[in-house]
Homo-oligomer: A and B are copies of this chain.
């Protein structure tokens, strides 16, 4: 069998995964209440079919044939990378015992119910036994996958390959060094007014405005659409059908708009992948088994955070679009200036809840989770001691007293479904967004001038050229090296935060 067989079979794997994505999108946006039970079974069948086809004898023979066929090609050619990625993915999945995977899936649905009940009652004890078992399963997964340094490395591999516990520890230490002084200083400073964000805003108008802004920055609705959901997400069914969702609160304006800008950033990554990569492993994550063209979860997050924060929360954006916003809500915002609105959507204030936290404090929520996950995985923290450790870390980093476990250790669904090792993506995304934005605007000063004039094409073109079009051909750090001249580097992010929040809060 040959390279073309490999492409044909991986195309079918991609089809199964994309079909699963359609079913998931539907479940979160359109499905009537009754559909849940059968939908879970359909999703499970598709996931197993994708995994089994990937690890089939047919695929292995095709991979071997393709490897021989592509032996003389440059190591970073699309063909050589595809052949290598298929090999890596087969190895990865074959290391995980099916029985262990089944235990995880079966525990997952029971654990999610227990978690929901525990959160409802703010009673961690109800969830602790299931979480202990989930941690144990993840420890076994880590052993099966294998690692050089820390078992947590094996769990992060699926989401952010190459990330190590050691590297993360150093990265977080540097971030804290730069960010904690800002948080402390802001605690002493005056807060800008933000009352006008909580007025009545007609939901349909919010959605229309959010979509118009997503289109304005470059989201292509000929190849996408916007719907509402509970927890906003982006999902692609190949580069030519990439959908976004947002949530609308009648009495809180920023959610719908910034949700849409964030998801549009994710979406433009997928919409920008080279058409030649469609249905191939360069647009299919065969390790995480998601049909995406983004090279890592963190790289994906970099695009959403870049458009949401570096563009959407910039002074220039509101200088340009405050008029559009006022036009969308006649008489609602006539008393609010561009500068006031810009300041309001950049308010920073420590909170207990990750998903409600602002640009500056968000990463502390991530650090808490990653550090506690790593300690549970290596056995240095018992599940029973988790709430105390959580509350202590929140006090230490953000100075807040967690009022109860529902607003503390129980706030996220991730652990109950067995996801351990994915939170680091958010902070890596923030760092990478700043690094890319800094390089783009330094390499090409016309990009910032264009943004100042509400022209988003030069920035989008630079990101497509330097990030999106490559799909999964290059690793995250190869991509950063090519685009910015260096691997992941927190300094541009710290410089950006320091400059932005010093200005906003008139810090010394």
Type the 1/0 row for A34-46, where 1 means its CB is closer than 8 Å to any CB of B: 1101110110111
Name A6-24 residues within 8 Å CB distance of B: 11-12, 15-16, 18-20, 22-23
- In contact, A38 and B279 (Cβ under 8 angstroms): yes
Please give, as numbers and ranges, the residues of chain B lying within 8 Å of A221 by CB-CB distance: 32
Complex: A220 Cα to B35 Cα, angstroms: 12
Nearest to A223 among chain B residues (CB) is: B34
Q: Is A318 an interface residue (CB 8 A)?
A: no
Size category of the binding interface on chain A: 35 or more
Type the 1/0 row for A394-430, where 1 means its CB is closer than 8 Å to any CB of B: 0000000000000000000000000000000000000
Complex: A26 Cα to B32 Cα, angstroms: 14
Q: How far is the CB of A259 from chain B (nearest CB, A)?
A: 19
Q: Is A208 an interface residue (CB 8 A)?
A: no
Given known A-B contacts A15-B45, A26-B22, A46-B19, A38 and B237 have beta carbons under 8 A apart: yes
- In contact, A35 and B241 (Cβ under 8 angstroms): yes
Name A38-73 residues within 8 Å CB distance of B: 38-39, 41-42, 44-46, 49
Q: Is A5 an interface residue (CB 8 A)?
A: no
Q: Is A506 an interface residue (CB 8 A)?
A: no
Please give, as numbers and ranges, the residues of chain B lying within 8 Å of A49 by CB-CB distance: 12, 16, 49
- In contact, A18 and B42 (Cβ under 8 angstroms): yes
- In contact, B223 and A35 (Cβ under 8 angstroms): yes
Q: Is A30 an interface residue (CB 8 A)?
A: yes
Q: Is A225 an interface residue (CB 8 A)?
A: yes
Q: Chain A interface (Cβ within 8 Å of chain B)?
A: 11-12, 15-16, 18-20, 22-23, 26, 30-35, 37-39, 41-42, 44-46, 49, 220-225, 237-238, 240-241, 243, 278-279
Given A11-B45, A38-B240, 20 extra CB contacts under 8 A: A12-B45, A15-B41, A15-B44, A16-B49, A18-B38, A22-B42, A26-B26, A32-B222, A32-B243, A33-B223, A34-B223, A34-B224, A35-B223, A35-B237, A35-B240, A35-B241, A37-B240, A38-B237, A38-B238, A41-B279
